[in-house]
Amino acid sequence: MTVLSDLPHTPGKIIAVHTAFESRAAQRGRRPSQPSYFFKAPSSLSASGATVERPAGTELMAFEGEIALIIGTPAHRVSLEEAWSHVGWVTASNDLGIYDYRPHDKGSNIRSKSRDGYTPLGPALLDARSIDPTSLRIRTWVNGELAQEGGTTESDLIFPLAQFVADLSQHMTLEEGDIILTGTPAGSTVIVPGDVVEVEVDVPSTGESTGKLRTTIVEGPGDFDPALGMLPRTDEKQAEDAWGSREAAGLPSNPTALSEELRAKLEKAPTAGLSAQLRSPGLNNVIIEGVYPQTPGTKMVGVAATLRFVPNREDLFRSHGGGFNAQKKAFDSVREGEVLVIEGRGESGSATLGDVLALRAQQRGAAGVVTDGGVRDYAAVEEIGLPVFCGNPHPAVLGRKHVPWESGVAVACGNATVLPGDVIVGDDDGVIVIPRDLVEEVVDAALAKETQDEWVAAQVAEGHSLDGLFPPTGEWKEKYQRWLDENAQ
Protein backbone atom coordinates (compact mmCIF):
# COMPACT_ATOMS: atom_id res chain seq x y z
CA MET A 1 0.00 0.00 0.00
CA THR A 2 1.44 3.37 -0.97
CA VAL A 3 0.90 6.63 0.85
CA LEU A 4 -0.90 8.01 -2.22
CA SER A 5 -3.83 5.65 -1.69
CA ASP A 6 -4.26 6.92 1.88
CA LEU A 7 -4.29 10.63 0.99
CA PRO A 8 -7.64 12.40 0.50
CA HIS A 9 -6.42 13.76 -2.84
CA THR A 10 -3.51 12.99 -5.12
CA PRO A 11 -1.02 15.86 -4.70
CA GLY A 12 -0.24 17.77 -7.85
CA LYS A 13 2.76 19.43 -6.24
CA ILE A 14 4.93 19.22 -3.15
CA ILE A 15 6.50 22.52 -2.08
CA ALA A 16 9.21 22.61 0.58
CA VAL A 17 10.38 25.59 2.64
CA HIS A 18 14.15 26.12 2.83
CA THR A 19 14.41 27.53 6.39
CA ALA A 20 11.56 28.24 8.80
CA PHE A 21 12.74 27.41 12.34
CA GLU A 22 14.74 29.86 14.42
CA SER A 23 16.88 27.00 15.77
CA ARG A 24 17.80 25.86 12.25
CA ALA A 25 18.68 29.41 11.20
CA ALA A 26 20.88 29.83 14.28
CA GLN A 27 22.61 26.53 13.55
CA ARG A 28 23.29 27.51 9.95
CA GLY A 29 24.19 31.12 10.74
CA ARG A 30 21.76 32.32 8.05
CA ARG A 31 18.34 33.74 8.90
CA PRO A 32 16.07 34.51 5.94
CA SER A 33 14.05 37.71 5.90
CA GLN A 34 11.42 36.11 3.65
CA PRO A 35 10.45 32.47 3.00
CA SER A 36 11.89 30.65 0.01
CA TYR A 37 10.91 27.33 -1.51
CA PHE A 38 11.77 24.40 -3.76
CA PHE A 39 9.67 21.68 -5.40
CA LYS A 40 9.74 17.96 -4.74
CA ALA A 41 8.28 15.42 -7.15
CA PRO A 42 5.08 13.61 -6.08
CA SER A 43 6.93 10.39 -6.99
CA SER A 44 9.20 11.08 -3.99
CA LEU A 45 6.34 10.19 -1.58
CA SER A 46 6.57 7.05 0.53
CA ALA A 47 4.53 5.58 3.38
CA SER A 48 5.36 4.91 6.99
CA GLY A 49 7.27 1.64 7.28
CA ALA A 50 8.94 2.01 3.89
CA THR A 51 12.61 1.48 3.16
CA VAL A 52 14.48 4.27 1.37
CA GLU A 53 17.73 3.80 -0.54
CA ARG A 54 20.96 5.68 -0.08
CA PRO A 55 22.78 5.18 -3.40
CA ALA A 56 26.15 3.43 -3.26
CA GLY A 57 28.95 5.94 -3.74
CA THR A 58 27.22 8.66 -1.72
CA GLU A 59 27.88 9.46 1.93
CA LEU A 60 25.92 12.56 2.96
CA MET A 61 22.30 11.45 3.29
CA ALA A 62 20.47 13.53 5.92
CA PHE A 63 17.01 13.47 7.47
CA GLU A 64 14.79 16.49 8.18
CA GLY A 65 11.71 15.92 10.29
CA GLU A 66 9.01 18.35 9.16
CA ILE A 67 5.37 19.29 9.62
CA ALA A 68 3.45 18.74 6.38
CA LEU A 69 0.39 20.81 5.50
CA ILE A 70 -2.08 19.25 3.06
CA ILE A 71 -4.35 21.68 1.24
CA GLY A 72 -8.05 20.93 1.75
CA THR A 73 -9.67 23.63 -0.38
CA PRO A 74 -8.06 25.57 -3.26
CA ALA A 75 -6.23 28.71 -2.25
CA HIS A 76 -5.62 31.58 -4.66
CA ARG A 77 -4.55 35.02 -3.45
CA VAL A 78 -5.74 34.36 0.08
CA SER A 79 -4.86 36.61 3.01
CA LEU A 80 -2.76 35.56 5.98
CA GLU A 81 -5.86 35.66 8.16
CA GLU A 82 -7.84 33.24 6.01
CA ALA A 83 -4.91 31.03 4.88
CA TRP A 84 -5.16 28.38 7.62
CA SER A 85 -8.79 27.66 6.67
CA HIS A 86 -7.49 26.26 3.37
CA VAL A 87 -5.34 23.67 5.16
CA GLY A 88 -7.23 20.40 5.41
CA TRP A 89 -4.80 18.18 7.24
CA VAL A 90 -1.51 18.16 9.12
CA THR A 91 0.88 15.21 9.23
CA ALA A 92 4.51 14.23 9.74
CA SER A 93 7.06 14.16 6.95
CA ASN A 94 10.76 13.50 6.44
CA ASP A 95 12.47 15.69 3.86
CA LEU A 96 15.31 13.31 3.05
CA GLY A 97 18.22 14.53 0.93
CA ILE A 98 21.56 13.50 -0.57
CA TYR A 99 23.98 16.39 -0.02
CA ASP A 100 26.44 14.76 -2.43
CA TYR A 101 24.17 16.09 -5.20
CA ARG A 102 23.25 19.45 -3.72
CA PRO A 103 26.10 21.46 -5.35
CA HIS A 104 24.87 20.38 -8.78
CA ASP A 105 21.26 21.38 -8.07
CA LYS A 106 22.00 25.05 -7.25
CA GLY A 107 18.99 25.37 -4.92
CA SER A 108 16.50 23.31 -6.94
CA ASN A 109 17.25 20.11 -4.98
CA ILE A 110 15.97 17.99 -7.88
CA ARG A 111 18.57 15.23 -7.65
CA SER A 112 19.28 15.59 -3.96
CA LYS A 113 15.72 15.59 -2.59
CA SER A 114 13.29 14.39 -5.30
CA ARG A 115 14.53 10.82 -5.45
CA ASP A 116 11.97 8.02 -5.21
CA GLY A 117 10.79 7.61 -1.63
CA TYR A 118 12.56 10.72 -0.32
CA THR A 119 9.37 12.28 1.12
CA PRO A 120 7.99 9.83 3.69
CA LEU A 121 4.57 11.06 4.88
CA GLY A 122 2.12 10.01 7.60
CA PRO A 123 1.07 7.77 9.16
CA ALA A 124 -2.10 9.54 10.40
CA LEU A 125 -3.61 12.80 9.21
CA LEU A 126 -4.76 15.37 11.77
CA ASP A 127 -7.79 17.56 10.97
CA ALA A 128 -6.36 21.06 10.64
CA ARG A 129 -9.75 22.64 11.47
CA SER A 130 -9.42 21.45 15.06
CA ILE A 131 -5.78 22.54 15.49
CA ASP A 132 -4.29 25.81 16.64
CA PRO A 133 -1.36 26.18 14.19
CA THR A 134 0.81 27.59 17.00
CA SER A 135 0.31 24.51 19.22
CA LEU A 136 2.08 21.81 17.18
CA ARG A 137 5.23 19.93 18.09
CA ILE A 138 7.65 18.06 15.80
CA ARG A 139 10.04 15.38 17.06
CA THR A 140 12.49 13.10 15.26
CA TRP A 141 14.26 10.01 16.55
CA VAL A 142 17.19 8.15 14.98
CA ASN A 143 17.56 4.56 16.16
CA GLY A 144 15.40 5.41 19.16
CA GLU A 145 17.41 8.49 20.23
CA LEU A 146 15.69 11.90 20.14
CA ALA A 147 17.46 14.01 17.51
CA GLN A 148 15.08 16.92 16.87
CA GLU A 149 12.35 18.74 18.74
CA GLY A 150 10.62 21.97 17.83
CA GLY A 151 7.35 23.81 18.22
CA THR A 152 5.30 26.22 16.16
CA THR A 153 5.01 29.16 18.56
CA GLU A 154 6.06 32.65 17.49
CA SER A 155 9.41 32.18 19.21
CA ASP A 156 10.03 28.82 17.46
CA LEU A 157 9.24 29.84 13.88
CA ILE A 158 10.64 32.61 11.71
CA PHE A 159 7.36 32.63 9.76
CA PRO A 160 3.93 31.38 10.93
CA LEU A 161 2.69 28.24 9.18
CA ALA A 162 -0.21 30.08 7.57
CA GLN A 163 2.19 32.51 5.88
CA PHE A 164 3.44 29.78 3.54
CA VAL A 165 -0.10 29.18 2.28
CA ALA A 166 -0.82 32.88 1.86
CA ASP A 167 2.52 33.63 0.23
CA LEU A 168 2.45 30.74 -2.24
CA SER A 169 -1.17 31.51 -3.15
CA GLN A 170 -0.05 34.89 -4.49
CA HIS A 171 1.88 33.12 -7.23
CA MET A 172 -0.02 29.89 -7.93
CA THR A 173 -3.26 28.18 -7.08
CA LEU A 174 -2.77 25.70 -4.28
CA GLU A 175 -5.07 22.83 -5.15
CA GLU A 176 -6.68 20.13 -3.07
CA GLY A 177 -4.04 17.61 -1.98
CA ASP A 178 -1.03 19.84 -2.56
CA ILE A 179 1.56 19.42 0.19
CA ILE A 180 3.70 22.07 1.87
CA LEU A 181 6.71 20.88 3.88
CA THR A 182 7.32 23.60 6.45
CA GLY A 183 11.03 23.32 7.27
CA THR A 184 13.00 21.50 9.93
CA PRO A 185 14.31 22.48 13.38
CA ALA A 186 17.94 22.13 14.42
CA GLY A 187 19.31 18.61 14.80
CA SER A 188 19.20 17.30 11.25
CA THR A 189 22.30 15.22 10.54
CA VAL A 190 23.74 12.39 8.47
CA ILE A 191 22.20 8.91 8.46
CA VAL A 192 23.53 5.66 6.98
CA PRO A 193 22.10 2.35 5.76
CA GLY A 194 20.68 0.45 8.71
CA ASP A 195 19.46 3.59 10.51
CA VAL A 196 15.78 3.91 11.39
CA VAL A 197 14.28 7.42 11.44
CA GLU A 198 10.96 8.19 13.13
CA VAL A 199 9.08 11.49 12.94
CA GLU A 200 5.99 12.47 14.93
CA VAL A 201 3.82 15.57 14.90
CA ASP A 202 1.51 16.06 17.85
CA VAL A 203 -0.51 18.60 19.81
CA PRO A 204 0.75 18.24 23.40
CA SER A 205 -2.22 20.13 24.86
CA THR A 206 -4.79 17.71 23.41
CA GLY A 207 -2.83 14.51 22.93
CA GLU A 208 -3.57 14.37 19.18
CA SER A 209 -0.74 12.71 17.25
CA THR A 210 0.12 11.52 13.78
CA GLY A 211 1.89 8.52 15.26
CA LYS A 212 5.49 7.83 14.36
CA LEU A 213 6.43 7.97 10.69
CA ARG A 214 9.02 5.20 10.41
CA THR A 215 11.63 4.97 7.63
CA THR A 216 14.50 2.49 7.33
CA ILE A 217 17.56 3.45 5.29
CA VAL A 218 19.07 0.78 3.06
CA GLU A 219 21.94 0.66 0.57
CA GLY A 220 20.80 1.12 -3.03
CA PRO A 221 22.49 0.94 -6.43
CA GLY A 222 24.82 3.78 -7.27
CA ASP A 223 25.66 3.03 -10.88
CA PHE A 224 25.28 6.62 -12.09
CA ASP A 225 26.02 7.04 -15.79
CA PRO A 226 28.48 9.94 -16.23
CA ALA A 227 27.38 10.29 -19.84
CA LEU A 228 23.91 11.31 -18.67
CA GLY A 229 24.68 13.77 -15.90
CA MET A 230 26.87 14.85 -13.03
CA LEU A 231 28.26 12.38 -10.54
CA PRO A 232 27.89 12.85 -6.77
CA ARG A 233 30.66 14.68 -4.96
CA THR A 234 31.25 16.14 -1.52
CA ASP A 235 33.07 19.16 -0.17
CA GLU A 236 33.47 20.77 3.24
CA LYS A 237 30.44 23.03 2.78
CA GLN A 238 28.11 20.11 2.00
CA ALA A 239 29.58 18.01 4.81
CA GLU A 240 29.06 20.84 7.31
CA ASP A 241 25.44 21.39 6.25
CA ALA A 242 24.61 17.67 6.12
CA TRP A 243 26.06 16.89 9.55
CA GLY A 244 24.77 20.12 11.10
CA SER A 245 28.14 21.58 12.12
CA ARG A 246 31.81 21.46 11.22
CA GLU A 247 32.59 19.69 14.48
CA ALA A 248 30.02 16.93 13.84
CA ALA A 249 31.46 16.46 10.35
CA GLY A 250 34.98 16.07 11.79
CA LEU A 251 36.16 19.32 10.21
CA PRO A 252 38.26 22.01 11.92
CA SER A 253 36.06 24.67 13.52
CA ASN A 254 37.81 27.43 11.57
CA PRO A 255 39.04 26.30 8.16
CA THR A 256 41.08 29.46 7.64
CA ALA A 257 42.89 29.34 11.01
CA LEU A 258 46.65 29.80 11.01
CA SER A 259 48.80 26.99 12.31
CA GLU A 260 50.54 27.66 15.63
CA GLU A 261 53.92 27.52 13.89
CA LEU A 262 52.93 30.07 11.25
CA ARG A 263 51.30 32.34 13.81
CA ALA A 264 54.48 32.27 15.93
CA LYS A 265 56.55 33.31 12.92
CA LEU A 266 54.21 36.18 12.11
CA GLU A 267 54.29 37.33 15.73
CA LYS A 268 58.08 37.72 15.41
CA ALA A 269 58.08 39.39 11.99
CA PRO A 270 57.74 43.22 11.91
CA THR A 271 55.34 44.75 9.42
CA ALA A 272 58.20 46.77 7.96
CA GLY A 273 60.06 43.57 7.11
CA LEU A 274 56.95 41.89 5.73
CA SER A 275 56.23 44.92 3.58
CA ALA A 276 59.75 44.85 2.14
CA GLN A 277 59.46 41.16 1.24
CA LEU A 278 56.10 41.63 -0.47
CA ARG A 279 57.84 43.87 -2.99
CA SER A 280 59.61 40.83 -4.43
CA PRO A 281 56.39 39.41 -5.93
CA GLY A 282 55.45 42.97 -6.95
CA LEU A 283 52.95 43.77 -4.19
CA ASN A 284 53.27 47.39 -3.06
CA ASN A 285 49.63 48.26 -2.26
CA VAL A 286 49.25 46.06 0.79
CA ILE A 287 49.45 48.67 3.58
CA ILE A 288 46.24 49.74 5.35
CA GLU A 289 46.94 53.45 5.57
CA GLY A 290 46.03 55.79 8.38
CA VAL A 291 45.41 53.21 11.10
CA TYR A 292 47.41 52.88 14.31
CA PRO A 293 47.16 50.72 17.43
CA GLN A 294 45.08 52.12 20.26
CA THR A 295 47.72 50.80 22.63
CA PRO A 296 51.36 51.31 21.53
CA GLY A 297 53.31 48.07 21.47
CA THR A 298 50.33 46.00 20.28
CA LYS A 299 51.08 43.11 17.93
CA MET A 300 48.16 41.70 15.99
CA VAL A 301 48.12 38.56 13.79
CA GLY A 302 45.06 36.94 12.29
CA VAL A 303 42.99 36.00 9.28
CA ALA A 304 40.71 38.63 7.75
CA ALA A 305 36.97 38.67 8.19
CA THR A 306 35.34 41.70 6.58
CA LEU A 307 32.57 44.25 7.07
CA ARG A 308 31.57 47.03 4.69
CA PHE A 309 29.72 50.27 5.37
CA VAL A 310 28.23 52.44 2.64
CA PRO A 311 27.61 56.20 2.93
CA ASN A 312 24.52 57.01 4.94
CA ARG A 313 21.27 57.45 3.05
CA GLU A 314 18.22 57.88 5.22
CA ASP A 315 15.95 55.37 3.45
CA LEU A 316 18.71 52.75 3.39
CA PHE A 317 19.50 53.28 7.04
CA ARG A 318 15.84 52.70 7.85
CA SER A 319 15.94 49.36 6.04
CA HIS A 320 19.47 48.24 6.96
CA GLY A 321 20.54 50.16 10.06
CA GLY A 322 18.31 48.75 12.74
CA GLY A 323 17.84 45.37 14.38
CA PHE A 324 20.35 42.60 13.88
CA ASN A 325 22.10 44.46 11.09
CA ALA A 326 25.23 43.57 9.11
CA GLN A 327 27.51 45.25 11.68
CA LYS A 328 26.09 43.27 14.61
CA LYS A 329 26.10 40.05 12.59
CA ALA A 330 29.78 40.52 11.71
CA PHE A 331 30.82 41.06 15.33
CA ASP A 332 28.55 38.26 16.49
CA SER A 333 30.00 35.72 14.05
CA VAL A 334 33.73 36.61 13.96
CA ARG A 335 35.70 33.46 14.71
CA GLU A 336 38.66 32.74 16.91
CA GLY A 337 41.88 34.03 15.37
CA GLU A 338 40.15 36.33 12.89
CA VAL A 339 40.76 40.07 12.46
CA LEU A 340 37.60 41.95 11.53
CA VAL A 341 38.59 44.48 8.86
CA ILE A 342 36.04 47.28 8.43
CA GLU A 343 35.64 49.47 5.37
CA GLY A 344 34.64 52.87 6.72
CA ARG A 345 35.81 54.76 3.62
CA GLY A 346 38.37 56.66 5.72
CA GLU A 347 35.46 58.62 7.19
CA SER A 348 36.72 60.23 10.39
CA GLY A 349 33.39 61.83 11.27
CA SER A 350 31.66 58.79 12.72
CA ALA A 351 32.36 55.61 14.66
CA THR A 352 32.32 52.09 13.23
CA LEU A 353 32.38 50.22 16.56
CA GLY A 354 32.09 50.81 20.29
CA ASP A 355 32.72 49.00 23.54
CA VAL A 356 29.87 46.46 23.36
CA LEU A 357 30.88 45.28 19.89
CA ALA A 358 34.54 45.14 20.89
CA LEU A 359 33.62 43.07 23.93
CA ARG A 360 31.62 40.65 21.77
CA ALA A 361 34.56 40.22 19.39
CA GLN A 362 36.92 39.61 22.29
CA GLN A 363 34.57 37.01 23.79
CA ARG A 364 34.49 35.16 20.48
CA GLY A 365 38.29 35.01 20.38
CA ALA A 366 38.87 37.57 17.63
CA ALA A 367 42.51 38.49 17.05
CA GLY A 368 41.62 42.16 16.58
CA VAL A 369 39.76 44.82 14.63
CA VAL A 370 41.02 47.17 11.93
CA THR A 371 38.90 50.11 10.80
CA ASP A 372 39.70 53.13 8.69
CA GLY A 373 36.79 54.88 10.42
CA GLY A 374 36.38 56.07 13.97
CA VAL A 375 35.94 54.28 17.29
CA ARG A 376 33.50 55.44 19.97
CA ASP A 377 33.79 54.61 23.68
CA TYR A 378 37.49 54.90 22.88
CA ALA A 379 38.88 54.51 26.40
CA ALA A 380 36.46 51.67 27.21
CA VAL A 381 37.41 49.83 24.02
CA GLU A 382 41.09 50.17 24.86
CA GLU A 383 40.46 48.88 28.37
CA ILE A 384 38.81 45.73 26.97
CA GLY A 385 42.21 44.75 25.61
CA LEU A 386 41.17 43.65 22.13
CA PRO A 387 43.81 44.77 19.60
CA VAL A 388 42.18 47.63 17.70
CA PHE A 389 43.84 49.61 14.91
CA CYS A 390 41.92 52.70 13.85
CA GLY A 391 42.17 56.25 12.61
CA ASN A 392 40.64 58.26 15.41
CA PRO A 393 38.12 58.36 18.25
CA HIS A 394 34.65 59.74 17.52
CA PRO A 395 31.53 59.87 19.71
CA ALA A 396 28.89 59.67 16.94
CA VAL A 397 26.45 56.78 16.76
CA LEU A 398 26.20 54.61 13.66
CA GLY A 399 23.58 56.54 11.68
CA ARG A 400 25.54 59.76 11.25
CA LYS A 401 27.73 58.79 8.31
CA HIS A 402 27.35 55.05 7.67
CA VAL A 403 24.91 52.31 6.74
CA PRO A 404 26.09 48.80 7.72
CA TRP A 405 25.77 46.94 4.44
CA GLU A 406 27.41 43.53 4.13
CA SER A 407 30.10 41.22 5.45
CA GLY A 408 32.27 38.46 4.05
CA VAL A 409 33.12 40.39 0.88
CA ALA A 410 36.16 42.20 -0.52
CA VAL A 411 36.55 45.55 1.23
CA ALA A 412 38.68 48.67 0.72
CA CYS A 413 40.16 49.64 4.09
CA GLY A 414 42.73 52.42 4.26
CA ASN A 415 43.28 52.28 0.47
CA ALA A 416 44.08 48.56 0.62
CA THR A 417 41.93 45.78 -0.79
CA VAL A 418 41.28 43.06 1.78
CA LEU A 419 39.71 39.71 0.98
CA PRO A 420 38.25 37.34 3.56
CA GLY A 421 41.04 34.88 4.38
CA ASP A 422 43.92 37.29 3.80
CA VAL A 423 46.48 37.36 6.59
CA ILE A 424 46.55 40.58 8.63
CA VAL A 425 49.56 41.69 10.69
CA GLY A 426 49.71 44.89 12.72
CA ASP A 427 52.27 46.60 14.98
CA ASP A 428 53.38 50.13 15.81
CA ASP A 429 54.28 50.78 12.16
CA GLY A 430 50.75 49.99 10.97
CA VAL A 431 48.84 47.12 9.38
CA ILE A 432 49.80 44.97 6.40
CA VAL A 433 47.76 42.58 4.23
CA ILE A 434 49.37 39.35 3.01
CA PRO A 435 47.71 37.06 0.43
CA ARG A 436 47.24 33.65 2.03
CA ASP A 437 49.13 31.76 -0.70
CA LEU A 438 52.24 33.93 -0.16
CA VAL A 439 52.37 34.10 3.62
CA GLU A 440 54.81 31.25 4.31
CA GLU A 441 57.30 32.50 1.72
CA VAL A 442 57.00 36.11 2.83
CA VAL A 443 57.33 35.53 6.57
CA ASP A 444 60.34 33.20 6.17
CA ALA A 445 62.07 35.81 4.01
CA ALA A 446 61.18 38.60 6.45
CA LEU A 447 62.56 36.68 9.43
CA ALA A 448 65.75 35.88 7.53
CA LYS A 449 66.14 39.57 6.69
CA GLU A 450 65.43 40.49 10.32
CA THR A 451 68.25 38.22 11.45
CA GLN A 452 70.57 39.85 8.94
CA ASP A 453 69.56 43.36 10.03
CA GLU A 454 70.24 42.50 13.66
CA TRP A 455 73.74 41.30 12.73
CA VAL A 456 74.34 44.43 10.67
CA ALA A 457 73.15 46.62 13.54
CA ALA A 458 75.63 44.92 15.84
CA GLN A 459 78.47 45.73 13.40
CA VAL A 460 77.36 49.36 13.11
CA ALA A 461 77.23 49.60 16.90
CA GLU A 462 80.91 48.60 16.90
CA GLY A 463 81.70 51.61 14.70
CA HIS A 464 81.81 50.09 11.20
CA SER A 465 80.80 52.14 8.16
CA LEU A 466 77.58 51.35 6.30
CA ASP A 467 79.48 51.09 3.03
CA GLY A 468 79.23 47.47 1.86
CA LEU A 469 77.62 46.49 5.17
CA PHE A 470 74.02 47.59 4.73
CA PRO A 471 73.13 45.31 3.03
CA PRO A 472 76.19 43.05 3.28
CA THR A 473 78.20 42.71 0.06
CA GLY A 474 81.62 41.36 -0.76
CA GLU A 475 83.68 40.66 2.36
CA TRP A 476 80.85 41.62 4.69
CA LYS A 477 78.54 39.15 2.96
CA GLU A 478 81.10 36.39 3.46
CA LYS A 479 81.46 37.31 7.16
CA TYR A 480 77.71 37.22 7.61
CA GLN A 481 77.48 33.81 5.97
CA ARG A 482 80.20 32.46 8.25
CA TRP A 483 78.32 33.83 11.25
CA LEU A 484 75.13 32.15 10.08
CA ASP A 485 76.91 28.81 9.61
CA GLU A 486 78.52 29.02 13.03
CA ASN A 487 75.26 29.86 14.79
CA ALA A 488 73.31 27.18 12.94
CA GLN A 489 75.50 24.46 14.52
Q: Is the dihedral of CA 336, 338, 343, 348 positive or negative?
A: positive
117 in a labelled binding site: no
CB 481 within 8 Å of CB 308:
no
346 in a labelled binding site: no
Distance CA 166, CA 71 (A): 12
Distance CA 130, CA 393 (A): 60
Residue 476 carries which side chain, given as an amino acid letter? W
Q: At what angle do helices 474-488 and 439-461 cross, to 10 degrees?
A: 110
356 in a labelled binding site: yes
Q: DSSP readout, 245-305? A: STTTTT--S-TTPPPHHHHHHHHHS-HHHHHHHHTTTT----EETT-EESSTT--EEEEEE
Give the closest residue to 90 by CA, choosing from 264, 270, 213: 213
Report, in this order, helix, strand and coil percent for the chain, each rounded to 5.
30, 30, 40
177 in a labelled binding site: no
Q: Which residues pair with 70 in a beta bridge?
A: 89, 179
Angle (CA) 327 374 268, round 5°: 90
Distance CA 25, CA 159 (A): 12
354 in a labelled binding site: yes
CB-side neighbour CA atoms (13 Å) of 13: 12
CB 66 within 8 Å of CB 182:
yes
Distance CA 358, CA 330 (A): 11
When computed from its CA atoms, the radius of gyration of the chain, rounded to whole angstroms, is 29
Q: At what angle do helices 439-461 and 271-278 cross, to 10 degrees?
A: 120
195 in a labelled binding site: no
Give the closest residue to 294 by CA, choosing from 384, 223, 207: 384
Largest CA distance in the chain: 99
Query: What are the binding residues?
Result: 354-357, 376-377
- Detail the residues annotated as belonging to a binding site for substrate: 354-357, 376
Going by the annotation, the residues of the binding site for Mg(2+) are 377
